[in-house]
Amino acid sequence: MNPYSFLEIAALIGIFLVLFLALFLFTVKTKYTLGNRLFAFFLIGNAIDAFKFLMREFPVNHINLEAFRWSIVYLVPALFYLYVLSVCFSDFRLKKKHLLHAIPFAAYNVYLMSGIYFEDTAMKLLFIKGMNQMPVTQFFQFLFEFLFQVYFIASFLVIRKSKAIYLENYTNPNISILNALYKITILYYVLHFIVLLRWMATFIFGLGEIRAWIVTLDGFAFFFCTCWYLFVALNKPEFFRGVNSQLKPILDLIPKQKSSPAVDDEKNKQILALKEFMIEKEPYLDSSLTILDLAEQLKMPVKDLSALINLYMNKHFFDFINEYRIEKAKEILKDPLQKELTILEILYQVGFNSKSSFSTSFKKYTGTTPTDFRKNPN
């Protein structure tokens, strides 16, 4: 098959899926409206950029639209970063300061005004012919690459921070959603890396067959990423609920105290009291339990409880609570009087809210599945 025809088919299907998913995100009724809309705008930006795969010749009759299409890429990385913020932090809201992310987009359009938007066709074509040799164009190309890398790194740091906060403060197992966000971010970077290969091929080999096949690979990657976005949207319709952005990782709030007999004795007493409370009151049976909830029940400052668990017991709150849930589940699975209970009934009873998260945690702590453990509890 001719690489151009293959490219056009893949791009056309990909653009259709992207726009369809964006329409769904705009219209679906959900409490995650801001995140959905930011992701929809991000997808639309990618779709607009992907129209280049459908062009065999430069659109002389629509030069202004084509030039404006070039500028969209200066918005896409920022939209993705804002989307990551909206997913990771439940209290994220757009503010006037976020308009600063649009400055490169506006600046590039001002640059295009000087040579394209308000000129006649002949002057536009002359300007475009020499654009790549202009220092201003090279500056904007460098700026785009720099911004992309900055937004990419920032997105990963936000995901890592929110995951650390989540593990230290929450127990409802939604880590798989964060992992999906990691994968989306990586795929986005891979797509950009192929663009870099295309630029290098153009610089080294010119507009030859090698570049044509890289462009085809770029189009296929766009199609693949689109299918992945659609898969995530269908498989996980309620994305990660997010954490409060005011929360900080415990190591940023409370530096670990130097070990001393007095400190060790005090902390050991607190740890013992905490374990006794967990066994006696069984607060872990509440599937929505947070560290704030537990601190209120213990009548202990939440920072002190977080430090006790995360620093002195060397466990995430997430793992600390799930260990008790798994022990409770093991008791039920061993009990012959409760053999009629299904695995699904047991996992809800002990505080989990999905079969996959229960099975993953159970195997992590016991080395076997709940079903196999019930058959052979020894």
CB 48 within 8 A of CB 72: yes
The pLDDT of 220-225, averaged and rounded, is 69
Give the orientation angle of helix 135-169 with respect to helix 291-298, to 10 degrees. 30
More reliable by pLDDT, 149 or 13: 149
Q: Which of 38, 39, 48, 40 is nearest to 15 (CA)?
A: 48
Q: Is 50 exceeded by the pLDDT of residue 75?
A: yes
Per domain, the residue ranges of the chain are 3-235, 255-375
Calculate mean pLDDT across residues 170-181. 67
**Residue 75 structure tokens:** 């918005």
Lowest mean per-residue pLDDT among 75-89, 97-111, 193-207, 249-263: 249-263
Is residue 16's pLDDT more than 50? yes
Segment 172-179 mean pLDDT:
63
> Which of the two residues, 188 and 280, has the higher pLDDT score?
280
pLDDT digits (tens, 9 = 90+) for 267-320: 888 889 999 999 999 999 988 888 888 989 999 888 888 888 888 888 888 889
Q: How does residue 336 score in pLDDT terms, banded at 50, 70 and 90?
A: confident
Q: Kindly give, in sequence order, each residue whose CB lies less than 8 Å from that of residue 69, ignoring residues fewer than 6 positions away.
A: 48, 49, 51, 52
Nearest to 169 by CA among 289, 296, 300: 289
Tokens standing for 365?
A: 């702590």
164: Cβ contacts below 8 Å, ≥ 6 apart: 249
> Is the dihedral angle over the CA atoms 101, 105, 108, 109 positive or is it negative?
negative
Residue 81 to residues 177, 187, 207, 306, 373, Cα–Cα distance (Å): 17, 14, 33, 29, 44
Looking at the structure, give the CATH architecture of the domain made up of residues 255-375: Orthogonal Bundle (1.10)
Q: Which of 195, 230, 232 is nearest to 215 (CA)?
A: 195
Check: CB of residue 233 under 8 Å from CB of residue 32: no
Q: Which of 87, 53, 90 is nearest to 226 (CA)?
A: 53
Q: Full-prediction pTM beyond 0.85?
A: no
The letter for the amino acid at 289 is L
- Give the DSSP letter of residue 93: -
Task: Please say whether the structural domain 3-235 has been given the CATH code 1.20.1070.
Answer: yes
Give the pLDDT band (50/70/90) at residue 234: low
Q: What is the pLDDT of residue 233?
A: 59
